[in-house]
Structure 1
């Protein structure tokens, strides 16, 4: 594809589909080369992972109301354990994504943010002035999509930059 891309965000969530999209992008997209007059910088890939907040990861959103009414009491050890687990998952996802990049001999930047992927991917695209967003799609059926939502569908309708959605397995 055209070689005038300055910033390409590659959204990964650890799924096979997101890693296939990452691999496809590295194989098929050409970034902008730096201009000889050095006014234009070289393009770059940003591998982006959005980590769920601990409360969502634990299935605690919204929080339960204890007998006797609401309470602001949290269990610090429980929260710390959830956060540590989330960090390990994020590290494994990013490690795997970076291994794919390394095998393809492509240098990338990385970014990890915490929050709702639907919102945070769009925010990252805006903040990084992305020229393109590439992401995978799990191709949920209509029932699953209704209950779980589709991050790729949401991004396709709300993110301001162009998007390439890679469905399923893609042979390079």
Structure 2
């Protein structure tokens, strides 16, 4: 019997992360899998109230799909998922019979995605690529490049 698979998708609600989410659902997810959306918010002392202070170090608890779809609940985490992302995961959950969960982290995206890979732990990770040019990548760094080189699971980078 095969072990439970946890497919992580790094999501920031941008077009490239939605493309990665769709790709993961179409090509990786199968019945019985857990699809875990990993959302990383900026860190620092930006958050003085609410859920962020409780979960700043370890990330939020797993948020089930009905709560992810609830704007009031997501406002507590200062995350506003767009309607398209909610529709994509809601449809996938019912059609593919997968469990969708959300985990929110605060801090540097590179470090927190690696933390998620190790702590959840993930069977594989899918993420988008913003398509920075070589100069921008050198100056700003590439989250996807860092994750590919440091993650302890297979990583797929979906280019838009």
Q: TM-score, normalised by structure 1?
A: 0.66
Deviation at 1:89, TM superposition (A): 9.3
- CA deviations on 1:29-81 (whole Å, 9 max, x unpaired) are 134x6xxxxxxxx43110110001155x7xxxxxxxxxxxxxxxxxx9xx77x
TM-score, normalised to structure 2's length?
A: 0.70
- RMSD value, Cα: 2.8
* 1:127 aligned residue: 119
Provide the aligned length of Structure 1 versus Structure 2: 131
**Cα gap change, 1:126 to 1:140, in 2 (>3 Å):** same
Name the residue aligned to 2:5: 6
Are the equivalent residues in 2 in contact too, given 1:5–1:30 (CA < 8 A)?
A: no
Larger Rg computed on CA atoms: 1
- Find the partner of 2:88 among 90, 96, 100: 100
Q: Return the alpha-carbon distance in structure 1 between the equivalents of residues 151 and 90 of structure 2.
A: 28
Residue 91 of structure 1: CA displacement?
A: 2.4
Q: Which residue of 2 aligns with 1:27?
A: 26
* Contact 1:49–1:90 (Cα < 8 Å) also in 2: no
Task: Tell me, yes or no, if structure 1 residue 139 matches structure 2 residue 131.
Answer: yes
Alignment correspondent of 1:112:
104
Q: Secondary structure of 2:19's match?
A: helix
**Contact 1:21-1:135 at 8 Å conserved across structures:** yes
